[in-house]
Amino acid sequence: MTEKTIAAAGSAAGPISISSAFDSGNIVVRTIAGTSATLGIRRDEGSEFFQWFHFRVAAPPGAQLALDIVGLAGSAYPEGWPGYHACVSEDRVNWVRAETTWDAKADGGTLRIRHRTQSGILWLAYFPPYSMDRHHDLIGRTAALPGVAYRCLGYSLDNQPIDCLELGEGEKQVWLYARQHPGETMAEYWMEGAIDVLTDPGNSHGRLLRQKARFHLIPNMNPDGSFRGHLRTNAVGVNLNREWHAPTPERSPEVLCVRAAMEETGVAFAMDVHGDESIPAVFIAGFEGIPSLTERQLDLYRRYQDTLAIRTPDFQTKRGYPITPPGRANLTMSTAQLAERFGAVSMTLEMPFKDNDDLPDPVNGWSPARSRLLGRDCMAVLAEMIEDI
Ligand code: ZN
């Protein structure tokens, strides 16, 4: 960890203290006055990106906090702030959305968070965090289940393992991977839902999928960025989802080891799970611009989206990224690279940091629970079409 800031200040109005010196912590304390604080967000080490924040505040019980995070016009996705509400928890289990407003003009772009404390200590984050401890819990308890094999694919630059869980007896090779962008923690909650379906002996979708396919699950592709409190990059500021054409041990060993493992098995279906800062909807992006595009690939990709849209009102196909014109795919990105390299049906799933505006939940916004449910629905849809993949 670097540049972690612990600040404490006293005043007659009642002192508060703010800290981010923990797993995935990120905040810079500029000033504290009474129960108000002016804060900033630290850049991902070695890069220009910043957007992820996660910190705790100790304050007198019942205090009305005024927390302003400033300088956000220069963040990775300034359009992510209008309509966004910060996540807050007093027990680190239940997270809700705090009263939050965006002022584009004040102090280089200011997010104003207003919240009354109850117990006297609370945590705030860009999205409910997913700690490396929780990641180890997920790996350990899943690996202990019957029929699940654990495999270490390689190591990150900080020497953390790139964990892979494998299960299923079928021929079709399915790769699901999350958190290339470490601040997109909803992706690992999604993975919990997918794993629940795949490992439940009583779940018929899971049973069918295990019979037809071999699953390779990577719940966290970027443990270094996760622990360091990064939004988008690994320990040296590299965006892993721009490394898939030519990963190197120096810049992107995380991608290098995963791609090598994929070469061993081939890839029939792949899903790369993400969060999107700006668009208040769940959507999927594909591989339309790859040189070797086939009708079969495209048909299956569209069928997956259409079926998912029928299955859950939390998914839609109207809003999303512009479709890449023919031949213009960015092969540094995993979805395009895997579709081109393996002829895979591959896709990037994006969940919002804000909410699904078609079906909003003002208390929780988009949430870990909805991410897990979507993971379950995604596996059910895959089961519906696994024969044809
Ligand atoms: Zn992402």
pLDDT, tens digit only, all 389 positions of the chain: 343 333 433 333 458 999 999 999 999 999 999 999 999 999 999 999 999 999 999 999 999 999 999 999 999 999 999 999 999 999 999 999 999 999 999 999 999 999 999 999 999 999 999 999 999 999 999 999 999 999 999 999 999 999 999 999 999 999 999 999 999 999 999 999 999 999 999 999 999 999 999 999 999 999 999 999 999 999 999 999 999 999 999 999 999 999 999 999 999 999 999 999 999 999 999 999 999 999 999 999 999 999 999 999 999 999 999 999 999 999 999 999 999 999 999 999 999 999 999 999 999 999 999 999 999 999 999 999 999 99
The CA distances from residue 27 to 156, 157, 160, 174, 388, in Å, are 24, 23, 24, 38, 48
Q: What is the DSSP string of 306-331?
A: HHHHHH-TT--SSSSPPPPPTT---T
Q: Answer yes or no: 350 catalytic.
A: yes
Distance from the alpha carbon of residue 275 to the mean position of ligand 1, in angstroms: 5
DSSP 8-state symbol, 139:
H
Secondary-structure breakdown of the chain: helix, strand, coil percentages, each rounded to the nearest 5: 30, 25, 45
Contact between residue 52 and residue 243 where contact means Cβ atoms under 8 Å apart = no
Distance from the alpha carbon of residue 351 to the mean position of ligand 1, in angstroms: 9
Contact between residue 57 and residue 67 where contact means Cβ atoms under 8 Å apart = yes
Q: Which residues of 269-283 are buried (b: 16+ CB within 10 A; e: fewer)?
A: bbbbbbbbbbbbbbb
Q: What's the chain's Rg over C-alpha atoms?
A: 21
Distance from the alpha carbon of residue 65 to the mean position of ligand 1, in angstroms: 31
DSSP 8-state symbol, 278:
S
Distance CA 214, CA 259 (A): 16
Distance from the alpha carbon of residue 327 to the mean position of ligand 1, in angstroms: 23
Tokens coding 245:
């054409």
Name the burial class of residue 119, with classes exposed (0-12), middle (13-18) and buried (19+) by CB atoms within 10 angstroms of its CB.
exposed
User: Residue 116: beta bridge partners?
Assistant: 64
Distance from the alpha carbon of residue 320 to the mean position of ligand 1, in angstroms: 13
Distance from the alpha carbon of residue 9 to the mean position of ligand 1, in angstroms: 36
Q: Please identify which of the residues 171, 254, 350, 387 carries the catalytic annotation.
A: 350
Distance CA 261, CA 133 (A): 25
Distance CA 43, CA 199 (A): 38
Distance from the alpha carbon of residue 106 to the mean position of ligand 1, in angstroms: 28
